[in-house]
Amino acid sequence: GQQVMQIPQYQHVQEGEDFTTYCNSSTTLSNIQWYKQRPGGHPVFLIQLVKSGEVKKQKRLTFQFGEAKKNSSLHITATQTTDVGTYFCAGSGGSNYKLTFGKGTLLTVNP
Amino acid sequence: GAGVSQSPSNKVTEKGKDVELRCDPISGHTALYWYRQSLGQGLEFLIYFQGNSAPDKSGLPSDRFSAERTGGSVSTLTIQRTQQEDSAVYLCASIPGTGVGNGYTFGSGTRLTVV
């Protein structure tokens, strides 16, 4: 079945440093979504990417979808303590009714 | 309701007992999902409902797990003869239609601990 791998598993940064997490799928995706889960909380939807090579920005967050629609990345510029949490990518295949989640990247930020 | 509501928020049960977890999705959302999140792990798909039917229950780990949805609204996930490996956070999510395009809205989850 479809597998979504995410690296790194953990990332610790100093406040103000940049952060990137990468997501790779074993199969071509119809779309990819990103979620953020704060410590003790539940995943919250951030964004969806659909088109090959698509780039979207949300303030300090930049999301990319690869040309082959099998990989994606989330980049945070100048991290802040409020960015702490686990970032999950989740992909949907041809059926488009179900998401397969990566295991997430836990980001901690040292103030 | 305004969001996805799950109950109980925490459940401690003895090994071998049955448990029922409840999910009340956003009003009007036709699709409902159950996922399981073990400590430090990603989200594992369990079952998908569209209305009252479950076209995909491929993620249920064993026949001890079952789920139903009534009235196109509330769903119950039942785990029979619980085992310690069932300990996890069980998350419910809903979306308005048939495609995942608008993203899942998750509930706060039920933390199940089997002792």
- Tens of pLDDT along B50-61? 999 999 999 999
Burial class, A14, CB count within 10 angstroms (exposed 0-12 / middle 13-18 / buried 19+): exposed
Burial class, A111, CB count within 10 angstroms (exposed 0-12 / middle 13-18 / buried 19+): exposed
Summarised one tens digit per residue, pLDDT across range A51-90 is 999 999 999 999 999 999 999 999 999 999 999 999 999 9
CB contact under 8 A, B50 and A97: yes
Identity of the residue in B43, B102, B107 whose CB atom sits nearest the CB atom of A101: B43
For the CA atoms of A45, B5, B60, A38, the dihedral, rounded to the nearest 10 degrees, stands at 40
All residues of chain B having their beta carbon less than 8 Å from the beta carbon of residue A103 are: 41-42
Determine contact, residues A43/B43, Cβ cutoff 8 Å. Answer: yes
Rg of chain B taking only CA atoms, in angstroms = 13
Residues of chain B with pLDDT under 50: none
Locate the chain A residue with the closest alpha carbon to B56.
A98
Residues in a beta bridge with A20: A75
Determine contact, residues A62/A69, Cβ cutoff 8 Å. Answer: no
CA distance A27 to B56: 19
Q: Beta-carbon neighbour count of residue B98 at 10 Å?
A: 12
Determine contact, residues B90/B109, Cβ cutoff 8 Å. Answer: yes
Q: Encode A85-102: b = buried (16+ Cβ within 10 Å), e = exposed.
A: bbbbbbbbbeeebbbbbb
CB contact under 8 A, A45 and B41: no
Which residue shows structure tokens 């040309």? A67
Report the pLDDT averaged over residues A45-53. Answer: 96
CA distance B74 to B56: 17
By percentage, how much of chain A surpasses pLDDT 70?
100
Q: How far is B33 from chain A (nearest CA, A)?
A: 9
Whether the link from the prior residue into A111 is cis, omega within 30° of 0, is no
All residues of chain A having their beta carbon less than 8 Å from the beta carbon of residue B101 are: 31, 48, 50, 96
pLDDT of residue B1: 55
CB contact under 8 A, A96 and B100: yes
- Which residues neighbour B71 within 8 Å (Cβ) at sequence distance 6 or greater? B52
CA distance A24 to A62: 17
Q: How far is A33 from chain B (nearest CA, A)?
A: 7
Confidence of residue A2 (pLDDT cuts 50, 70, 90): confident
CB contact under 8 A, B35 and A44: no
CB contact under 8 A, A43 and B43: yes
Locate the chain B residue with the closest alpha carbon to A92.
B100
Burial class, B39, CB count within 10 angstroms (exposed 0-12 / middle 13-18 / buried 19+): exposed
Chain B residue set in contact with A, beta carbons under 8 Å? 31, 33, 35, 41-45, 48, 50, 56, 91, 98-109
